[in-house]
Every structure is written in structure tokens, then in C-alpha cells.
Structure 1
């Protein structure tokens, strides 16, 4: 019983201390060893647990996903510094106009994140344009963060097939799938999320305007980049299209025809790695194309490559630390009780998977971290249960991805804190709207997706 208390206690401490600003890199190993000590006492073998369980899991995660984190960060940096990200946002905003300011912001963020640009880059790129559109439409500024969150943290992050975001890449390693897993289920889920979010925000905007609320200018001037200084829209969006198309061609057309028997000597098979390989190659090509199309816009290409590389490190190390913590927890005898409780919630693998991913994403404040902990511990059981129930691994992939985008954006989530800071808003002013579009609606969508998945929609 003390071991179970230790697991729960360390999870709560992880959430609380991370919210208070403590580094996950430092917290994760300390709390993992504390859980081991409470579970096994003097037999915990703390040093062996640290080097042979925590660090081994840390290294394995970095091996599997570092290229995606690295290339995604570099691609985002190049899209940002070249002005391509802003050019896409400007182009979309111009198409929709101030009359559809909310939709323009959501679609701008959606295009960028669906193309692989990081959530943080999107927030910085879109905010000035969103502020300008909202000012022209006299929409209260407090609705900018939820509009960006709807376009960045929801349907393009977890639902739409092919998205190169890490939340869609992680399940590939566990279920032998690719980024386009369960396309119909993903498309339906994406439509539900974006439609419900826009309807909700439009209703709340009208209510606020009915009370006499409008856009409040900040004391400082908005630094909005003029359209003349930006690259052309079509050259800006071309690398994003390349990521999506090339990823599909490689994953669904090229690799299935290749003889991967040579991989046996590497201890793996083509189905396990082809999804990751497709994504890596697609991002590399997109990076080269971005450099080629915008080479005259960079002060120093090498400088931007270095910046993107450095910016990828904290993200991968933080997430790998959370995974190391999860593996230590999973190795404890006490975790068998926790695991059986999770699996005992439902005999349906989709329901059990959604609950475990959601809860752990909420506790860690990380969609990728929560999903990784859950799948590392339980993916084999879910595959077995799904096989017995006649459910495709592709559905397991899509439900895991969708579930990771629910409770992850609680108030302590780093992306939420950053978004509010960029927009100059507080939790009190904007978080309740963010909660509905990035927590409540995605969770309800996951429920619908589970029902459809059980009826064979793939």
C-alpha cells in the first residue's frame, strides 16, 4: 500500500512542483527514486534504478524521437526567421478578412501547425496579425489566446492524419503505424473539434460585445510586419505542402514495397521504423526547400540552424526525463496495482487507453510526456486487447493521439503559460475559454472517436 501511495504522491508532486516552476529535468529522477524508495524500501537499489531504468528509458526515448524534435525545431526557426510563417498568417487573414477574424486566426494557426511548425513559433507569428484583426473587428483581446489555442493545440496537433507534430509521431513506435493512421477517424474528430470550438468562441464573443466589451489597446504599439517585407504566400506554404505529401508517399507508397529483412540484424523491422523515417526525410527536404526559397532573407543560415538546434534540446530532454520517470514507476511492484486499476476501468482497450493517456498528460502537463508514459507501460496490453476485440492498431494510434490533447492543457501546461504571456493576457482573463476549446471539446471528441472506432471506423 505504501508503494501505491508513493506512486500517487510523486505524480502529484511532479504536477505541483512543475507548476511552481521547478525543472522537470531535475524533478523527474528525484521523484522517480523517491517512488522506488517508498515502494521497495532498502531493496530499492537506487543507483541501479537511476542508471539502468531511468537513464536507459531516457536514452531510448531520445534515440527514437530526437530527430523529429530537432528537425521540427529547425524547420520552425527557419519558417519564423524567413518571415514565411507570418506570410502564411497574413495570406490566410487577407482571404477571410476582418469579418471572419476568428476563423482567419484559427485557420492560420492550423495551416502552420499541420505543416510541422512548432506551437511556440505559431504563437509568436500569429499574435500580431490576430491583434490587428481583432482590433478592426472590435473583438475583446481576451479571445486571442483561445483562438490561437484552438488552431494550434487541438485538431492539427492530434487529429488530422499526417500531422508531423510529435503527438502524432509517438504512437507509431508502439503500434507499427504511420502518421496517416486511421484517416477517417482523424478527419471526423478534427472537424468536430474545430467546428465546436469556433461555434463556442463566436457565441462567447457576441456575449462579451453585447455587454459593451471591445478590443482594448495595449500601451505599446503592436509590431505588425508589413506585407511588403514578407516572402510570397505560395513560396512560404510550399515547404508545408511538401512535408505532408512526401510523408504520405514515403509512408504509404514507397516503404511498403521495400524489402526490410535487412533490419533484422538491427533488432527491428521496417513497419516499426518506416513512419519515423518518412517523417525525418520529409522534414529534411522541407528544411532544404525553405532555405533555398528564402536564402536571401536570412542574415546567416548557419546561425538559424544553430538556434533551432539549441531550442530543440530543452523540449526533448524534458520529455525524455518524464519518460524516464514513467519507466521507473512502471518497474515498481506497486505499479501492478495501479496498472490493473487502469485496465480494470474497462475491458475495452480504447476506453482504457484514453483514460490513462489523458490522466497522465494532465498530471505531467505534457501531451507527449503523458502519452509516452502510458504507452511505454501499457501498449502491449492494449495491442493484445485490441486484437481480441478486432480493433485495428491504427485506431489505437489515433485514440492515443487524441487523448493526449485533452487534460494536457491544464493551467500548469508550458504552452498555455507561454501563449498567455505572448498575448499579454492572464489566466483569469482568458483561461476559461482556452479550457473549453483545448480541454473540454477535445475530451468530448475523444469519446465520440472511441464510439466510432469500436464500430470499425478507420
Structure 2
């Protein structure tokens, strides 16, 4: 009884501390101490074994995915330094018109994140440009924040096949699948998220306009507007700006495409069997292309690459900390009872996957953290139950992208902080597009898979 109460108290403490802006690593260390103490886990085992080096240990995860995070951080930085990221945003704005500001925000964020640009870099790219969009279209800031969240943190993160996102790579590495596993289900779910999300945001915009709610600038807007490209600044065109992203995706697609044509080679087998290394190589290839194509990057590549490494460290540490938290939680009797209950439910296995991955991601407020914990603790049981690795890859990814965006999510807090908004101001719309709609899309994918398989 005390052990289960301590587990619940530790989970609640983590959420409470995260919501109050406490550093996530510090919050995790305090929370696992409470959990470990109440579950009679030796302190040395908590901090020197389960948290750092277990199957779901923080350092185990960081060691396995360090290269991917670094390459992603570098690619994001060179895309920003080359002005290619801004070039994509400005070109799409010119083509669609500022009156379609919400569509612009969603599409640009989706293009950049699907191509491998780090989410936080995308936020910093879109917000300065978004200030003028919000002003000209008179869009409430809360809705623009939700459009960024929709484009950067939903369907390109968990649904669309081929992306070098950490979520896609975690599943591929643990299940022995490739980045295209369950592809058509992912595409279907991604379309549902994008269409329903934009329908909701456009509907809310019309309602806001009818109620007299409009754009209200704050100090953050004035600061960020100064970072937007000057009107006389020469930016690369859309095609040139997209070439590095195309290079990343083409590198990832190449082994699968050659396999489809019956071509086999040693490097191809390596690429398909090493998703972390191959996705990292693809991001590095995109960075090198930026170096070749864009003068601003050539002038200061070493500095920009170093900044990219710095960009990668905080997300890596935060994600690893959450996973290390899970590494302690899965040692408790309460978690094993919870897992046994999930696996014992008299429901189809894919529906059980949907429920379990969602709940774990909700507890950790991290899709990547929840997915890694799910893969190391529950996925083997589903494989034994007969779920195909490809289906498990995509359904688990989709499910992990549901409850991950609860109020204590680091990405949600970062977006609100960046834009100078509070949970009261903007979380309702973010919740709809990043929690409710992804859950609907994931559940629809489960039902279709059950009907067809």
C-alpha cells in the first residue's frame, strides 16, 4: 500500500514541479527519490543503477541517441543560419497570402520538422515571422501558438513515415523495423490530424472575430519582431531553401527505394538495420549541403555547428531525465501490476497498445520518453502476443503523441514561455490540436488496422 502511494506521490510531484517551472532534471531526481524510498529500493540502486544505466536509463538513452540529437541540432542551426528556414516561411507566406496565417504556420512548421529541423529551432524561426502575420491578419496570439504546436508537434512527429524524428527512430531501433514501418496508416492518421486541427483553428478564429477578440501585442512580440528578416533582406527562394530538407529525406528513402527495385547491397542493409546512424547521416548530409549552398554558413560553419550541438544538449538531457525516471518507475511493484493489468485486459492487443502508450506518455509528458519506456518494458509482450513489429511501430508512435502534451509537457511550457502566454491564455487550443485530435487519429488507425488485419 505504501509503495503504491509513494509511486502515485512521486508521479504527482513530478507533474507539480514541472508545472511550476522547476528544471526537469531536478524535478526527476527529487521524484525518483520519493518513489525509491517508498518502494524500498536502495538509494545506490536508484541513482547509480536504475536511473542512469538500466534498460530505460538516462545515460543508456543518451548514449544511444547522442549522435542523432547532435546531427539534428546542427542541421537545425545551419538551416537557420543560412536563412533557408526563413526562406521557406517567407516564400510560403507570399504564395498563400497573410490572410492564411494559420495555414502558413502549420505548413512551415510541418515542412521543417518533417525534414529533421529541431522543434525548438522551428519555434524560434516561426515566432518572429509570425508577429507580422498575426498583426496583418488580426489573429489572437493563442491561435497562432496552437498552429505552431499543430505543425511542429503532431503528425510530423509520430505519424508520417520516413521522418528522422526521435520517436520514429526509437521505435525502429527497438523493434528492428525501418523508418517507414506502418507507413500508410501513418499517412492516414497524419492527414486526419492536419485537417481536423486546421478545421478547429479556423473555426476558433471565426468565433474569435465574431466576439471581437483580436491580436494584442505584448513585450515578447516586440522583442521577437526585431529578429524577423528585414523587408529588404535577400532570402533564398523556396526551392533552394527546401533542397537541404529534400536531401535529408532522399537519403533516408534511398535504401528502401532501392530495395523496392530489387537492388541489394551491403551499405543498404546497414542503412536499413541502423536507423539511428542512418538518420544521423541523413541530417549530416543536409548540413553539408547547406554548407556548400549558402555563403552565410560557410563564413561561420564551425561556430554554427557548435551552437547546434549546444541546442541538442538540453532536449537530450531533458528527454534522458524523463526516461531515467521511467527506469526507476518500472522497478516498482505498482508498475508491474499496472503492466499486468494492461496486458490482461480482454481487448484487442492493438487497442491495449493504444491505451498503454498513451498513459505512459501522459505520465512522463513526453512522447519520446513514454515511447522509450513502452518499448523497453511492454513492447516485447505485444510482440509475443502476435502484433507485427511494423504495426506496433506505427500504432505505438501515434498513441505516444496523444497525452504527451498535457500541461506539464516541456514542449508546451517552452512554447508558452517563448510567446509570453500562460496556460490560462492558450492551453485549451493547444490541448485540442495536440491531445484530443491526435488521440482521435490514433484510435481511428487502430480501428482500421483491426478491421484489415
TM-score by length of 2: 0.91
The 3 A distance-change label for structure 1 pair 130 and 24 is: closer
Residue 375 of structure 2 is matched in structure 1 by 375
Once the two structures are TM-superposed, the CA of residue 48 in structure 1 deviates from its matched residue by: 3.3
Contact 1:242 1:286 in 2 (8 A): yes
Relative to 1, partners in 2 of residues 1:61 and 1:295: Cα closer, same or farther, differing over 3 Å?
A: same
The equivalent position to 2:230 in structure 1, one of 223, 226, 229, is 226
SS in 2 for 1:225: coil
How far the C-alpha of 1:85 sits from its partner, in A, is 0.8
C-alpha distance 133-23 of structure 1, shift in aligned 2 (>3 A): closer
What are the within-5 Å matches in structure 2 for residues 134-213 of structure 1?
134-213=134-213
Q: Does 1:50 align with 2:57?
A: no
Report the Cα offset of residue 36 of structure 1: 3.0
1:340 to partner: Cα distance: 0.9
Structure 2 equivalent of residue 245 of structure 1:
250
Matches within 5 A, 1:331-370: 331-370=331-370
Pick the aligned partner of 2:420 from 420, 424, 428: 424
Cα distance per residue 1:302-342 (max 9 Å; x no partner): 11111111221122122222222212222334432121122
Matched, 1:257 2:264: yes
How many pairs does the alignment contain?
Answer: 442
TM-aligned CA distance change 1:314 to 1:297, over 3 Å: closer
- Looking at structure 2, the residues matched to 31 and 252 of structure 1 have their Cα atoms a distance apart, in angstroms, of 46
The corresponding residue for 1:395 is 391
Q: Give secondary structure in 2 for the equivalent of 1:161.
A: coil
Distance 1:218-1:316 versus aligned 2 partners, 3 A rule: closer
Who is 2:6 aligned against? 6
Deviation at 1:408, TM superposition (A): 1.4
User: Are 2:90 and 1:90 equivalent residues in the alignment?
Assistant: yes
Residue 435 of structure 2 corresponds to which residue in structure 1?
A: 439
**Structure 2 gap segments, 5+ residues each:** none
- Residue 398 of structure 1 and its aligned partner are, at CA, apart by 1.0
Match of 1:319 in 2: 319
User: Is this contact kept in 2: 1:93–1:108, CA < 8 A?
Assistant: no
Indicate conservation of the 8 Å contact 2:358/2:401, yes or no.
Answer: yes
Please give the alpha-carbon distance, in whole angstroms, between the structure 1 residues aligned to 2:379 and 2:322.
17
Between 1:417-426 and 1:11-20, the stretch displaced more is 417-426
In 1, Cα distance between equivalents of 2:212 and 2:332: 57
Cα distance, 1:199 vs structure 2: 0.8
Q: CA contact under 8 A between 1:175 and 1:383: conserved in structure 2?
A: no
**More moved, 61-70 vs 352-361:** 352-361
CA deviation after TM superposition for structure 1 residue 211, in Å: 1.7
Residues of 1 paired with 2:136 and 2:31: CA distance? 50
2:72 and 2:280 in contact (8 A); partners too: no
Distance change >3 Å, CA 311–CA 139, structure 1 → 2: closer
The CA distance in 1 between the partners of 2:213 and 2:314, in whole Å, is: 40
Q: What's the TM-score, normalizing by structure 1?
A: 0.90
Unmatched 5+ stretches in structure 1: 261-268
Does the C-alpha gap of structure 1 residues 217 and 115 become closer, same or farther in structure 2, counting only changes over 3 Å?
Answer: same
Deviation sequence 1:359-380 (CA, Å, 0-9, x none): 2222222111122122211110
Name the CA shift for 1:270/1:11 in 2 (closer, same or farther; >3 Å). Answer: farther
Give distance in 2, aligned partners of 1:258 and 1:30.
Answer: 50
Deviates more, 1:365-374 or 1:18-27: 18-27
Cα deviation for residue 25 of structure 1 reads 2.2
Q: Is the 8 A contact 2:255 2:271 kept in 1?
A: no
Contact 2:292 / 2:298 at 8 angstroms: preserved in 1?
A: no
